[in-house]
Amino acid sequence: MVMVGPPGGAGGGFFGPSATSTSAASGLPFAGVPSELREGAERILATEPEPPEPDVRYEPAAGEPPLTLRALVAPERPHIAIAVLLVIVETVTGLAGPLLTAIAIDEGVAERRPGVVFAMAGIYAGLVVVQALAGFGRLSLTGRIAERILEGLRIRIFTHLQRQSIDFFTRSRSGVLLSRMTSDVDALSALLQEGYVNLIVQGLTVVLVTVVLFVLSPTLAALLLVIVVPVFVVLTWWFRGASTVTYERVRDRIADVLADLQEHLAGIRIVSATNRRRHNEVLHREVVGRYRDASLDGSRIGAIYGPAAEVTGLVGQAGVLLVGGWQVLDGNLTIGELTAFVLYLTTFFAPIQQLVQLYNVYQQGNAALGKLGDLLAVEPEVRERADATELPPIDGQVELSGVGFAYVEGTPVLDDVDLAIAPGEIIALVGPTGAGKSTLAKLVARFHDVGAGRVTVDGHDVRDVTLESLRRQLGIVPQEPFLFHGSIRDNVAFGVPDATDAQVRAAVDAVGLAPLIERTALGIDTPVHERGVSLSAGERQLLALARALLARPAVLILDEATSNLDLESEARVERALDTVLDGTTGILIAHRLATAMRADRIAVVDDGGLAELGTHDELVELDGRYAALHRAWLAAGGAERTERPRR
Amino acid sequence: MSPWEPVAATTGYPEPVAGVDPDPERSWMRRLAPMVRPHRRIIVVALLAALIAMGAQVALPRIVMLTVDDALTSDDGNLVPYVALMAGVAVVRGIATFGYRYGLYGAAYRLEYDLRTLIHRHLGHLSFSFYDRVQSGQIISRANSDIRSIQMFGAFAPIVTIQLLTLIGALVVMLTIDPLLTAVALLGIPGVFVAAQRLRDLVFPLSWLVQARLADFATVVDENLNGARVVKAFAAEEREIEKLARSARRIRWVSVVQIDARARWSPIVEAIPRLSLALVLAVGGWRAAEGAITVGALLAFSQYVLLLAAPFRFLGFVLILGQRARASAGRILELLDERPTVVDRPGAVDLLEAPGEIRFDGVAFAYADDEPVLEEVDLTLHRGETLAVVGRSGSGKSTIARLLLRFYDVDDGRVTIDGRDVRDLTQSSLRHHIAFVPDDAFLFSASLRDNIAFARPGARQEEVADAARDAAAADFIEALPDGYDTVVGERGYDLSGGQRQRVSLARGLLADPAVLVLDDATSAVDVRVEEQIHAALAERRHQRTTLLIAHRLSTIALADRVALLDEGRIVATGTHEELLAREPRYAELLATTDRTAAEEPARW
């Protein structure tokens, strides 16, 4: 029982790099790291060297070899050989004690030769030291091997994820993907760190002890193997199964308890306002009670197994003393040998116990390996050609010719679409949800490959150029403005990491976020996540626009957010939009007429193609669907079209 | 029990049996003592079982010694009684061990149950000002790791105490066999303690660091999964891979440090008892060869050495658990010492009838230590009236609603209902008559039916459907494959903002309240749907007083009267037309509002 580490592994995020200064923010004086550990942790961190610059290359076109255990450990083979050697030394030296004791008793004590006793004790002490040294070497070596393998694997899986196209992320649940990178890698880690080493240590121990027991006394050994060991194995097997089941139940139920508490707190204002407090108390008692019952079941199983295993061992020992004692009395066994036998017995049960427990580690480790292998086997939908060329700096001319696309075969979303966008032109795509506006935009950015026809940018087919060079010049501002952990600066400069502070400031000012910067003490270095400044939905969108503005792509694809902004923010976003679009080719996926009207031309996307295409005035003249919508808007009090200011 | 706080659920699990000692001056153990006391019977029985188990453990090597010396090395020995005694003692030890372990764990888990339910109940009574100040994540972590560390200490501390008692028993037996060999056997013990302590000093903080770095790593992965669009859009894959590689490297570094700490100290912890064994073999073997002790004694000693080392390996662990339990108890007691700021006055009366006239008289209010939000608000709502409060964001509109429901107490002035100060009424009866629909439309991860029936968990399906219909939510709910049984996803994100608001509104309407407070509750609802909602509400408008906190013209237009809030005061009241005509600040405010109201229908 080595109980180290945070209880239940809880509170993972407490000690992040920024966690030391959070107590004040929580409102209660001592939140965060357990204070008694903080000093020790900081002392350790002070010794950390500056890590070398990571040496990673992103090759979007590269394929992944299949993931097998053999391939995973192959580069470590020489180290593993040394580790196995150390394990053998450690195990063998660890088993010498009882034999040496037997010799000391039989040849030393019985024969009244203290010299033999001292010699045996000296050898014993020497072997203990050798064992400790081998243990030291083995632990640090296997730990390092495993950590190297895991580091490589983490990067490899992540790189493979980066190769996937956007739809992969939409399709897969992010929680599942995250658990591949966390719990599955952890399961594999347990397999590498403990699983294999223990298999060798314990397996070897069992085999060696069995051999020694047979040499000492075949009768006793046979007796032991036939009667005591099966009882012990069955008992341990029962415990393994029962404890796994209850452990999972406890885990599920504590999750229920926390989820219930979390909701109660998140909705506490509603709970109070609706007089729901007592009802919720009763519900909480139910989930906590169920958790308590599961915990009690778990502790009962443990409380049965531990003593039962001990009693089995002790009764076995009594049996050995009885039968062995008769042999001694008959003169078939020496006292020393019997002593050795009894002492080996105690080292015999522990490894069996361990081996049975290891079963779970194997099961989980192998399952994790399988799941990670499946993930690495997923082929990216969009692949860069091996002979892809760098897209030269573009003017921003985009052309779709005869483009067709279907997510599901047989139900085309787009069919034979032709559209030419001149450099610097702003085109708005409008149309009902699901008509294919976003798909059209994704094809331009090559988030999908066209099913038919082609998309060209300045005359280059998007499939012939490298993805990196394409996307560097062709920016997308997604609908949900996603912010990364980090400062305002990190987020705004996301597309241009080497931007100067002045450039970042300028972009932030241009979208009208200067007041936000002035509001905060740290300026553009203010963190934007939970511990930093809280941003309104409008401010987040403005930051996303500043990000696009700083990257200054020649073609900008903008998915208008439908989320509800307050009026002031909406006006600010619109102004910022004009600034960002100035001088670039723009493809606007517009959800509101007011936005669409600001474009040079408007395309109504419906029924797999462009139903109408033209300037605002032309479409109003045409008296089609756009005109109908426009009339409804005017009737509801909408203002006439305002020109987009041009600089 | 208050009739205003109905309970429509049952559970077989009891209320927490006791609370903590309220005196904050006392030590944490004394303060928790009242919670332990109800379980004292189990604890006493468990400790008795532990004494038996301990006695058996000390006796066993002694019996082995007798067996070897009396039965094996003397000629007329009969083994059977000794071996039978040994097996019998072993079985007794097994049963007693089961008894004390299960008893102690049982008590610890019951204590945990009491603590959890007690904290939950306490949290329900705390005021809004507490929740404004404290992050719920912090409370959850207290409820999780802090309670668990107290529970672990509760289960382990007695076990180590018992192990130490065992040690004393073993020492006594050893001394009666051979004092010299006892001294030799004890030589290595301090080393075990020091080495085990050293190992834990290093490994404890390290495992926190490893966890923290794994969490940082998970954050990078998580944001790349959720922000994949942005990463792709800016072709930032390689940079993100570098970021992750750095994070993976940081994990590896701290893991290797941890591995080295273990590699250095755990073989030492293992080796010291073995070295003691070698020493006992040398000295004991020599003494046995001299005839000073028997072979059986030598055998017994080699078992006692291992028994002596055991408690010292875990002593340090329990000391740390104790330290941590103290810190955890401090955090939990701090939470339990929080007092609600809004409480029922002694002698507060129930509001029995539906409220008629609601008045704000010279109300002033500031959140915590912030700038005052309301300076001097005078406002009257007549029975059956719909009043809209408008003002810029941050002008304190929502605060007016919160003060009416007495989520906070006014700093100055008073809020009265039919002439009675809300502070003289019980909170639950006040809230029974006033339904509050907030702007954020928080939905619980339960079925839509349960969400709508939140205020009255026992409500019938027809009542739920009626409320949904009035809130214009029935159509979309009934169109869902599971209808009212649809379970809302985490924080309700799988419904649109407007849909969530409609469900939240239905929740408010279910109780058919006499007073309805809508705090910007339809801001995300389509204007046409909003009209529909207000048409439904208008049918009952003369039985119901409605307070609207509004941004949109379309919402404001539905009110009988409008009150304009500016700089902490109501600067004008009147109908929309009146204010438009005579109040320039009102027109100015609406100028920005006007535009989007009109844009709404032109969404695709």
Q: Is B125 on the interface with A (CB under 8 A)?
A: yes
pLDDT attached to residue B594: 44
Q: Is A563 helix (H, G, I), strand (E, B) or coil?
A: coil
pLDDT over 70 (residue A530): no
pLDDT tens digits, residue range B13-31? 888 888 888 888 888 889 9
Q: Is B268 on the interface with A (CB under 8 A)?
A: yes
Q: Where are the beta strands (DSSP E) in B382-447?
A: 386-390, 412-417, 420-421, 434-437
pLDDT over 60 (residue B298): yes
Q: Is B405 helix (H, G, I), strand (E, B) or coil?
A: coil
The Cα A392–Cα A555 span in angstroms is: 14
Residues B214-224 have a mean pLDDT of 82
DSSP secondary structure letter of residue A533? -
Which residue of A269, A317, A443, A640 is the best one to mutate when testing the B interface, meaning the one whose CB has the most B CBs within 10 A? A269
The Cα B120–Cα A263 span in angstroms is: 12
Q: How far is CA A200 from CA A88, A92, A355, in A?
A: 8, 12, 10
Are residues B235 and A472, on separate chains, in Cβ contact within 8 Å? yes
Q: In chain B, which among 203-242 make CB contacts under 8 A with chain A?
A: 203-209, 211-212, 214-242
| Minimum mean pLDDT range among A23-37, B258-272, B458-472 | A23-37
The Cα B453–Cα B456 span in angstroms is: 5
pLDDT tens digits, residue range A421-470? 988 888 988 887 667 888 888 888 888 888 888 999 888 888 888 888 88
Q: Is A120 on the interface with B (CB under 8 A)?
A: yes
Q: Is B591 helix (H, G, I), strand (E, B) or coil?
A: helix
Residues B570-594 have a mean pLDDT of 81
pLDDT attached to residue B592: 58
pLDDT attached to residue A645: 46
Question: Which residue type is seen at B516?
Answer: L
Distance of CA B521 to the CA centre of its chain: 29
Nearest CA in chain A to B283: A118
pLDDT tens digits, residue range B552-579? 777 787 788 999 988 888 988 998 888 8
pLDDT attached to residue A15: 29
Length of chain A: 647
Counting beta carbons within 10 angstroms of the beta carbon of residue A515, is it exposed (0 to 12), middle (13 to 18) or buried (19 or more)? Answer: exposed
List CB contacts (< 8 A) between A133 and chain B. 267
Task: Please give the backbone phi and psi of residue B416, each rounded to the nearest 5 degrees, phi first.
Answer: -125, 150
The Cα A251–Cα B544 span in angstroms is: 48
Q: What is the mean pLDDT of chain B?
A: 85
CA dihedral sign of residues A476, A479, A485, A486: positive
pLDDT band at B503 (very low <50, low <70, confident <90, very high): very high
Q: Is A371 on the interface with B (CB under 8 A)?
A: no
Are residues B271 and A265, on separate chains, in Cβ contact within 8 Å? no
Nearest alpha-carbon partner for A94 in A232, A197, A208: A208
Cα angle B588, B594, B598 (rounded to 5 degrees) comes to: 175
Residues 6+ away with beta carbon under 8 Å from A132:
B267, B268, B270, B271
pLDDT attached to residue B113: 93
Residues A471-479 have a mean pLDDT of 77
pLDDT tens digits, residue range B56-71? 989 998 998 888 888 7
| Structural tokens at position B263 | 């590699």
pLDDT attached to residue A137: 94
Residues A210-219 have a mean pLDDT of 88
pLDDT attached to residue A2: 34
The Cα A116–Cα A290 span in angstroms is: 62
Q: In chain A, which among 520-559 make CB contacts under 8 A with chain B?
A: 544, 547, 551
pLDDT band at A36 (very low <50, low <70, confident <90, very high): low
Are residues B145 and A6, on separate chains, in Cβ contact within 8 Å? yes
Q: At what angle do helices B237-290 and B179-186 cross, to 10 degrees?
A: 170
As a whole number of Å, the CA-based R_g of chain A is: 35
List CB contacts (< 8 A) between B555 and chain A. none
List CB contacts (< 8 A) between B238 and chain A. 56-58, 468
Q: Is A501 helix (H, G, I), strand (E, B) or coil?
A: helix
pLDDT attached to residue B24: 85
The Cα B472–Cα A110 span in angstroms is: 97
| Contact indicator for B235, A468 with CB cutoff of 8 Å | yes
pLDDT attached to residue A264: 87
Cα angle A283, A289, A293 (rounded to 5 degrees) comes to: 150
pLDDT attached to residue A182: 80
pLDDT attached to residue A18: 30
% residues pLDDT > 70 (chain A): 88
Q: Is B589 on the interface with A (CB under 8 A)?
A: no
Q: Which residues of A121-149 are buried (b: 16+ CB within 10 A; e: fewer)?
A: bebbbebbebbbbbbbbbbbbbbbbbbbb
pLDDT over 50 (residue A146): yes
CA dihedral sign of residues B29, B33, B39, B44: positive
pLDDT tens digits, residue range A592-636? 777 788 788 998 888 888 888 888 888 888 888 888 877 776 765
Q: How far apart are the first and last CA of chain A?
A: 73
Distance of CA A300 to the CA centre of its chain: 34
The Cα B135–Cα A133 span in angstroms is: 49
List CB contacts (< 8 A) between A541 and chain B. none
pLDDT tens digits, residue range A314-361? 888 888 888 888 888 888 888 888 888 888 887 777 787 777 778 777
pLDDT over 60 (residue A564): no
List CB contacts (< 8 A) between B433 and chain A. none
Q: Is B188 helix (H, G, I), strand (E, B) or coil?
A: coil
% residues pLDDT > 70 (chain B): 94
pLDDT over 70 (residue B601): no
pLDDT over 60 (residue A26): no
pLDDT tens digits, residue range A42-98? 777 888 887 777 777 777 767 778 888 888 888 888 999 999 999 999 989 988 888
pLDDT band at A1 (very low <50, low <70, confident <90, very high): very low
* Sheet containing A609-614, strands listed edge to edge, beginning at the edge strand earlier in sequence: A474-477, A555-559, A585-589, A426-430, A601-606, A609-614
pLDDT over 80 (residue A394): yes
Q: How far is CA B379 from CA A58, B373, B383, in A?
A: 65, 16, 13
pLDDT attached to residue A288: 94
| Structural tokens at position B279 | 């020493």
Nearest CA in chain B to A52: B246
Nearest alpha-carbon partner for A139 in A2, A331, A332: A2
pLDDT tens digits, residue range B106-141? 999 999 999 999 999 999 888 888 888 777 777 877
DSSP structure string for A457-478: ETTEEGGGB-HHHHHHSEEEE-
Q: Is A9 left (phi over 0), alpha (psi -120 to 50) or beta?
A: left
pLDDT attached to residue B458: 82
Nearest CA in chain A to B137: A262
pLDDT over 80 (residue A31): no
pLDDT tens digits, residue range B355-407? 889 999 999 998 876 778 899 999 999 988 999 998 876 678 889 999 999 99
pLDDT band at A19 (very low <50, low <70, confident <90, very high): very low
The Cα B215–Cα B206 span in angstroms is: 14
Residues 6+ away with beta carbon under 8 Å from A595:
A428, A560, A574, A577, A588
Residues 6+ away with beta carbon under 8 Å from B452:
B459, B464, B467, B468, B473, B484, B503, B506, B507, B510
Q: Is A58 helix (H, G, I), strand (E, B) or coil?
A: coil
Task: Please give the backbone phi and psi of residue B272, each rounded to the nearest 5 degrees, phi first.
Answer: -60, -50
Which residue of B237, B425, B505 is the best one to mutate when testing the A interface, meaning the one whose CB has the most A CBs within 10 A? B237
Cα angle B496, A592, A562 (rounded to 5 degrees) comes to: 30
pLDDT attached to residue B146: 85
B422 or A517, higher pLDDT = B422
DSSP secondary structure letter of residue A645? P
Task: Please give the backbone phi and psi of residue B413, each rounded to the nearest 5 degrees, phi first.
Answer: 75, -165
Say how many C-beta atoms besides its own lie within 10 A of residue B601's C-beta: 17
pLDDT attached to residue A522: 77
Q: A604 to chain B, minimum CA–CA distance in Å?
A: 11
Q: Is B368 on the interface with A (CB under 8 A)?
A: no
Which residue of B221, B405, B595 is the best one to mutate when testing the A interface, meaning the one whose CB has the most A CBs within 10 A? B221
| Structural tokens at position B231 | 């990463």
| Contact indicator for B247, B220 with CB cutoff of 8 Å | yes
Residues A537-546 have a mean pLDDT of 80
pLDDT over 70 (residue B449): yes
The Cα A422–Cα A397 span in angstroms is: 5
DSSP secondary structure letter of residue A30? S
**Range with the largest mean pLDDT of A404-413, A563-572, B346-355:** B346-355
List CB contacts (< 8 A) between B106 and chain A. 296, 299
| Minimum mean pLDDT range among B216-220, B274-278, B300-304, B418-422 | B216-220
| Minimum mean pLDDT range among A239-253, B49-63, B480-494, B535-549 | B480-494
The closest CB to that of A136, out of B134, B263, B593, belongs to B263
The Cα B158–Cα B108 span in angstroms is: 11
Task: Please give the backbone phi and psi of residue A564, each rounded to the nearest 5 degrees, phi first.
Answer: -80, 115
Q: In chain B, which among 441-460 make CB contacts under 8 A with chain A?
A: 442, 444-445, 454-455, 457
Q: B56 to chain A, minimum CA–CA distance in Å?
A: 12
The Cα B275–Cα B278 span in angstroms is: 5
Q: Is B28 helix (H, G, I), strand (E, B) or coil?
A: helix
The Cα A493–Cα A474 span in angstroms is: 16
The pTM is what? 0.76
List CB contacts (< 8 A) between A619 and chain B. none
Are residues A594 and B9, on separate chains, in Cβ contact within 8 Å? no
pLDDT attached to residue B541: 64
pLDDT tens digits, residue range A268-301? 888 888 888 888 999 999 999 999 999 999 889 9
